[in-house]
Structure 1
Amino acid sequence: MRRFLFMICAVACLGSHGTVCQTQTRQASYGNYLNGEPVGSLAPSDASAVVLFFAATDCPISNRYVPEMRRIEQEFAARGVVLWFVYPNFGTTADAVKQHEAAYGAENHVLLDPDHDLVTLAHAKVTPESAVLIPDRRGGGTFRAVYHGRIDDRYLRLGQERPKATQHDLERAISEVLEGRVVQQPNGPVVGCGIIGHP
């Protein structure tokens, strides 16, 4: 059972003449920082949305989207949107990600998703793929996905791409969230490298 959507409550009751209960609440992590520490929160409580960019150190298509994701991050950061670079492939090490970040530019929000908690939440299948999350109405610091899929329509299929994108699906979805409108899903498939799970 995936742990990311639930608050786990442990209740200890003590005493012989009465019951004294202490409740401890713990939220499961959203993957790990590169130092191995769990990511307990994806965004501050006043964030408007969280954007996930599923990346891979060895996927050429994913690498080509890094500048576009930086542009999107800069465009929406002032409006309370937090973007994470998520490395989901089984076997990807923190050192490999650090080398990748050094080559393409270090990010503030980078995590490993070895148990595919975020992959499951976002229904991600390939890198590069994106998702837009908003705070769950039930609270507890959890999120729900309102968009998942391609970043834009630059790639038609493997080996075939346009000179430049004509539809910016992710950017449109973020704007729709910020404007309180219904979020449209992407108009085409994601093209990239399959996400590698546990063998």
Structure 2
Amino acid sequence: MLFTRRTMRRPLFTICVLVSAFLYGGMCQAQKTQATYGYYLNGEPVRSLAPSGASAVVLFFAASDCPISNRYVPEMRHIEEEFAARGVVLWFVYPNYGTTADAVKQHEAVYGSEKHVLLDPDHQLVTLARAKVTPESAVLVPEPRGGDTFRSVYHGRIDDRYVRLGQERPKATQHDLERAISDVLEGHVVQQPNGPAVGCGIIGHP
């Protein structure tokens, strides 16, 4: 009888060890795969783009040395103020490889500081939003399964002020980004831009 009990204990012990290893491995894997959306100017990783319950996240891909991008800074501030009370969070994203935190801080000293600013040197957000130029915008919405994961429902130009490089309208006649944000908030199908984004190409790793 004693032999039988020992025999039974061995597989039970083995099962307990395997279950513990599986659970521990799952926890480690979850930690390894935790989303990162670029870096704050202090070097810390950005783990969350918006608080729980946010309606949408707007990304504005910017470059400190792109004149067209700089001209859109006031417009993006206007959009941020317009939709902030409705749960929309706007980020200024600096995606160009080689852009430093000091360069962005100097840029902010000229154009004003922003509430949400990040560097995207590894192009996590560029890939998610399929961004190609600065300035360009994207609208993200939370995934239904929850957690801090998002999917892109709009990417492209902010408005139609620039027809092409060197050709600018006196003022925009179509406000594509504002329309897309409104579509999300009102539960409508999100309309895509009626023309390409015009600006400076995003610089990736050499």
TM-score, normalised via structure 1 length: 0.91
Q: For 1:81-92, what aligned pairs fall within 5 Å after superposition?
A: 81-92=88-99
Q: 1:64 to 1:138 in 2, by over 3 A?
A: same
Corresponding residue for 2:198?
191
Corresponding residue for 1:128?
135
Q: 1:17 to 1:185 in 2, by over 3 A?
A: closer
Larger Rg, first or second structure (1 or 2): 2
Residue 84 of structure 1, CA deviation = 0.1
Aligned residues: 185
2:51 to 39, 44, 55: 44
Residue 137 of structure 1, CA deviation = 1.6
Aligned amino acid, residue 76 of structure 2: M
Corresponding residue for 2:60?
53
Residue 16 of structure 1, CA deviation = 4.0
Which moves more between the two structures, 82-91 or 21-30?
21-30
Aligned amino acid, residue 78 of structure 1: A
Corresponding residue for 2:116?
109
Corresponding residue for 2:100?
93
CA–CA separation in structure 1 for the residues paired with 2:170 and 2:81:
23
Report SS of the residue matched to 2:177. Answer: helix
Residue 136 of structure 1, CA deviation = 1.1
Q: For 1:1-199, what aligned pairs fall within 5 Å after superposition?
A: 16=14, 18=16, 19-20=19-20, 21-22=23-24, 23-24=26-27, 25-26=30-31, 27-199=34-206
CA–CA separation in structure 2 for the residues paired with 1:125 and 1:17:
51
Aligned amino acid, residue 147 of structure 1: Y
Q: 1:175 to 1:17 in 2, by over 3 A?
A: closer
Residue 139 of structure 1, CA deviation = 2.2
**Structure number having the greater helix percentage:** 2
> What do the CA deviations read for 1:115-163 (whole angstroms, capped 9, x no partner)?
0000000000000000000001232210000000000000000011000
Unpaired stretches in structure 1, ≥5 consecutive residues? 1-14
**Structure number having the greater strand percentage:** 1
TM-score, normalised via structure 2 length: 0.88
Residue 72 of structure 1, CA deviation = 0.2
CA–CA separation in structure 1 for the residues paired with 2:81 and 2:120:
24
Residue 102 of structure 1, CA deviation = 1.2
Report runs of 4+ in structure 1 exceeding 4 Å deviation.
none
Report SS of the residue matched to 2:107. Answer: helix
